[in-house]
Homo-oligomer: A and B are copies of this chain.
Amino acid sequence: MRAIDGLRERLAELADLAGLSRLAAWDQEVMMPAGGTESRAHQLATLERHAHKLATGDEIGAWLEELESDASELNDLERDIVRIARRDWNRQRRVPAELVGRLARAASEGQLIWRNAREAADFAAFVPALARNVELAREYAACFPDAARPYDALLDDYDYGLRSERLEPLFARLADGLAPLIERAAERESAGLVVVPVPAQQAAVKATLARLGVNDEDWRLDVSAHPFSQSLAQHDLRITTRYGDDSGLESIVAALHEFGHGLYEHQIAPELERTNLAGGTSMSVHESQSKLWENHVARNPAFARVIAAALADAGFAITPQKLSAAVNEIRPSLIRVSADQLTYPLHIVLRFELETALIGGQLEVADLPGAWNDGMRRLLGVSVPDDGVGVLQDIHWAAGLFGYFPSYALGAVIAAQLWQHLEREIGAQDEALADGEVGAVRDWLREHVHRYGRRLDTEPLVERATGTPLAVEPFLDHALRALG
């Protein structure tokens, strides 16, 4: 077999196994009876172990060497396949299997301990597990001695090529720019919670998604405790939302957010399927796609007409103005996952400051709650009553995920930059959105973002799509407009 064929066949197998792993994860959240928990953990661990073995085999190294020594017979796509395969193989080979095992066990135990600690708002109970996770993350980062800082090695797993040195000024500018806007927002009158009966929410979610192009042929919509999306394949896209009597319009906004993730995978160039290039290029670009549909469509005053009409069809009357005010409510609060679009990035700025200091060794785990509470006061003007709704609120650090948080804020930043440029290129979308027409937006995103898959990393992608380097100004402009 030619080296390129051997490599491509292996990558196709890895894509297949990854699809099954995503199926098992989706099923666990959405369908599986609770009794299946233990056997599902075994099934997933076995699958991961075998995928890891297949992804790190010596034969891949041999294929790559041969292909790199003479790339003359490769087309452009194959050159990118080889380039990314080399990157992935090198990264995975650097991490000893026993460290992977220790990381997985610590992450699993950490989440267990965290759940109880959060419930009891008892940070002290979580300290040893978190300290171990920080220690292991440093050990993992040390596998990549070329990184400028250990934290950058972690960042590379989620956003290859991003550097904390680059993020620091971006996030500082974001915090500075948002502070006066949030002060201004505090002076506005609250729109109050819009209480929508769950059946009307369900009908409106379905109707709104249908307007965006969600059909039964390629998509599933389900309910889960936390909304998420899982793309099993380019034509097997699964998104969830959640409905609550007191959750206002969250079900609709969350559904559009998850739709953005699904659409990204759906519109990757078909020729990339079952290669290592199929899939979003990074966490931040993936999040930019969900945030684009969340912030720039679902929360767009023009699109409020579409949602209001869907609710009216379901028997719930609300004016587009009132609906728009409700989904654009701005109010500093304690909890990241329910934060509005302006204060949300500040929750991330805080986490970024703290986790870079933890990994860099400037902050001790024991001092984390104090630093958290200070940061919440400084950035959001909020007092934290206890650690359960403070430093213990997120699962990420308990699961050993460091370097993951920045993508949540970068997603909103990139979304604003893409949207601004998209409207410059194809014109203002207000009229089209008011009519529920999003074909032009879908097409622009396919052409400038989606189709590349992993062929372009975050910053090159943003620069090619918008003609300018990654910047926070478009988001700040959007934030100003969101204040009305």
Contact = CB atoms under 8 A, between A and B. Distances in A.
Interface in A203-240: 216-220, 232-237
Given A23-B24, A46-B16, A35 B220 contact: no
- The interface centre, meaning the residue of A19, A20, A43 with most chain B CB atoms within 10 A of its CB, is A43
A43 B31 contact: no
Interface in A15-66: 16-17, 19-20, 23-24, 27, 31-36, 38-40, 42-43, 45-47, 49-50, 54
Contacts of A40: 232-233, 236
Q: Which of A34, A54, A233, A273 has the most CB of B within 10 A?
A: A233
A80 interface: no
A353 interface: no
A465 to B, nearest CB: 27
Contact of A236 (B12, B16, B33, B274): B33
A43 B24 contact: no
A157 interface: no
A42 B16 contact: yes
A386 interface: no
B16 A43 contact: yes
A459 interface: no
A279 to B, nearest CB: 13
A13 interface: yes
Interface residues of A, number: 39
Given A27-B27, A50-B50, A20 B35 contact: no
Interface string A63-96: 0000000000000000000000000000000000
A220 B28 CA distance: 12
Contact of A220 (B33, B42, B46, B274): B33
Nearest to A219: B33
A17 B220 contact: no
Interface string A259-301: 0000000000000011000000000000000000000000000
Given A12-B42, A235-B39, A236-B40, A24 B31 contact: no
A13 B236 contact: no
Contact of A232 (B39, B54, B217): B39
Contacts of A45: 16
A31 B33 contact: no
A47 B49 CA distance: 13
Nearest to A13: B46
Nearest to A19: B43
B43 A217 contact: no
A236 B20 contact: no
Contacts of A13: 46, 49-50
A185 to B, nearest CB: 41
Nearest to A236: B36
A17 B49 CA distance: 11
A33 B234 contact: no
B27 A217 contact: no
A45 B16 CA distance: 9
B35 A217 contact: yes
A17 B53 CA distance: 15
B33 A235 contact: yes
A43 B16 CA distance: 4
Contacts of A237: 33
22 contacts: A12-B46, A13-B46, A16-B42, A16-B46, A17-B43, A17-B46, A17-B47, A19-B39, A23-B27, A27-B27, A32-B220, A32-B232, A32-B236, A33-B235, A35-B233, A36-B233, A36-B236, A39-B234, A39-B235, A39-B274, A50-B50, A50-B54
**Closest 7 CB pairs between A and B?**
A36-B236, A35-B235, A39-B233, A16-B46, A35-B218, A16-B43, A13-B46
Interface of A: 12-13, 16-17, 19-20, 23-24, 27, 31-36, 38-40, 42-43, 45-47, 49-50, 54, 216-220, 232-237, 273-274
Given A20-B43, A32-B220, A33-B219, 19 more contacts: A16-B43, A16-B47, A17-B43, A17-B47, A19-B39, A20-B24, A23-B23, A31-B31, A31-B220, A32-B232, A32-B236, A33-B216, A34-B216, A35-B217, A35-B218, A35-B236, A36-B218, A39-B274, A40-B236
